[in-house]
Structures are given as structure tokens and as C-alpha cells.
Amino acid sequence: MNVTIVLSWIVGVLWLAVVAWVAYAALRSYRRNPLKPTIPVAIGLALAAIILTVVNSGLVFIQPQERGVVVSAIAPDGYRQETLKPGLSWVIPFFESVQVYPISYQTYTMSIATEEGQKAGDDSIAARTADGQEILVDASVIFAVDPEQVLRLHILWQDRYEEELVRAQARSIIRDVVSQFNVNEVVSTERFNLIDQINGEMTVVLGENGLSMVDFILRNITFSPEYAAAVEQKQIAEQQAQEAQLLVEKKKQEAEQARQEAQGRADAAVIAAEAQAEGRILEAEAEAEALQVQAEVLAQYPDLLTYVYITKLAPNVEVMFLPYDSPFIFPLPDMDTTTPIPTVE
């Protein structure tokens, strides 16, 4: 707990006791019944209150995230050369006072949204690009007081550094840097270069004035209504062109698919025809080989043909009619050759 706060409570209680005693003593005196035996007690309370008040005026407790600048009426330059570090410190009451500065990160936001930034209403930065387009920039600057330069910051800016240094420099630098890029570069290819350049320039300016630059955040870029409408029309046209290109590609793919299917059918037909022709060739070759074998057998056994012919006849055939000029007549099996052939008269 902060010692100075506890001491302030004690001093307050003592002074209330002194005031209460004085009021009570005045009331008793008015009634002609003074409190003479308790006067030393009242004087003691008053002295204690005065002493503690003086002590409390000289005690300063600095938080870990703070630094203190001692403004002194008795120092040659009007301030102590050393800043107060975290902890309990002593200054000369009534002759010295302490200005406390936070050294933790602070954020200053400038936004088009009415309640997002430090200032109410539209606080965005109007800037003009190299090709003459006006844009509105929303940005945040994250910074901190340099613990080693707190005294310099106090001498130069006191407690005005946020409004008169950070805000003013950020708006000026953003406008200067944006003017070096075309509008298309700001929102696309050169966006990160834009941020880096602003961050670099802000780092130099704040560093010269006792502040440390932590980060620059480009929150949003808003276009003028006319340019926004033109960009929207361009995007619509590009989208339509992309859709048309996709349709063309789809038709090409469908045509290619149909071609490949036709080519597949044609290849299948060719393969089938080739297979059929190959089958016929093989069949003809087989027949030729069979006939060759038969010819060779017949050449070796001439009577084989007669035998085959006879075996192919039906078993019940006894008489055959042949042309008169047939060179050969075959005797039929199981026929009695001695029986005379009847004649018809």
C-alpha cells in the first residue's frame, strides 16, 4: 500500500479531531463551562497534525511504471537534475513539487469512427496521393515516455506532449508520406513500405523530444465517394471479365473432354478392328496350315479320300446313282456282289 496515502488518512483524521475539539470547546465556553484541563491534549493533536502534514507534503511515492520530475524553487535551474525513480522519495515541503510521468505504453488513435479516438467525432487524417486522389486514413501511434529523457520531455512539452507532439507530428508525417505514393500503391503493393516509412520518421521525431516510438498501426483507409464508386465499378467489371474467362475455360474443358471421348471411341474402334483382322489372319493361317497338313496326308495316302467319303455315307445306303462319266464306282459295304441285278422288262 502507498505510504503517502496512509499518512494522508492519518493527517485527515487528526485535523478532524482538532476541529471537533475546537468546536466542542467553543460550545462549552459558550455555556460558561470551559474545558481547561483538555487544552494540552488539543494542542498536542494540532502539533501532530501540523508535523504529519509537513511530512506528508514532503513524501512522494513513485509507482514502478512512473518517473517523477522535481520542480524546485531553491534549485538553480528550477528543477532537480535527477528524476525520481520508483519507490518512496523525499522533497522539501512547500518549496518543491513533483510532476509524475507514466513510462508505460500509450496509444493515440485518430479514427473516422466518432468514439474510437481520443477526440470525439471524425478525427481521421485527410491526405492526397501522388495522383491527386484524396483518402482518409485511420491510424494509431503506440509510444512511451523514455525513462532516460523524462526531464527533457518535461522541459519541452510538460503534459502537452500527447496532443501537441504525437498527434500533430503523426498527422503531418502521414500526409507527407502518402503524397509520395499513388492511390493503388497505398492500398496494395506499397502499403507496407508506407507504414515502414511513417514509422521511421515518427521514431526520429519522437526520439528527439523524449519519447520512444513503439509501433505505427495503419487501421483503415477510406476513399472519397466518387473514387469509391469508380473502384466499385472497376471491381464489378473485373469480376464480370473473370466470370467470362471462367466460362470460356469451362467451354474449352468441355470441348477437350468431348474430343478426348471421341478420340477414345476412335481408338477403341481401331483396336477392335485390328483385333478382328488379327483374328481373321490367325484363323486363315490356321486353315492354311490345316489344308497343308491334309494335302500332305493325301499325297502320302491317296486312298484316304475314298475312305473318308465312304464313312460319311449313311449306313443304310445300298444304291448310289452317279453320272455316267464318273471315273470311279465304289463298292458299298455289306452288299452281295454275286446276286444278279434285276432287270426291268
Q: Would you give per-residue pLDDT tens digits along the chain (345 residues)?
A: 566 677 778 878 878 877 887 776 777 666 666 655 566 776 777 787 788 777 777 888 899 999 999 999 888 889 999 999 998 888 888 899 999 999 999 999 999 888 888 888 889 999 999 988 889 999 999 999 999 999 999 999 999 999 999 999 999 999 999 999 998 898 888 999 999 999 999 999 999 999 999 999 999 988 877 776 766 677 677 777 888 888 888 888 888 888 888 888 888 888 888 888 888 888 888 888 877 877 777 778 777 667 666 766 656 666 555 565 655 555 545 444 444 444 444
Question: CA–CA separation, 25 vs 40, rounded Å?
Answer: 13
Please tell me whether residues 144 and 184 are part of one structural domain: yes
- Planar angle of CA 271, 275, 280, nearest 5 degrees: 150
Asked if residue 324 belongs to a domain, the reply is: no
Check: CB of residue 144 under 8 Å from CB of residue 136: no
Establish if 214 belongs to a structural domain: yes
- In the chain, the number of structural domains is 2
Both 51 and 133 in one domain: the answer is: no
- Three-class DSSP category at 68: strand
Residue at which a domain ends, from 54, 79, 102: 102
Please give the residue range of the domain that contains residue 117.
Answer: 108-223
Domain termination residue (choose one: 200, 223, 246): 223
134 domain-assigned: yes
Instruction: Please tell me what DSSP assigns to residue 37.
Output: G
Instruction: Please indicate, yes or no, if residue 315 is contained in any of the structural domains.
Output: no
In this structure, are 61 and 150 located in the same domain? no
With respect to residue 26, please indicate whether it lies within any of the assigned structural domains: yes
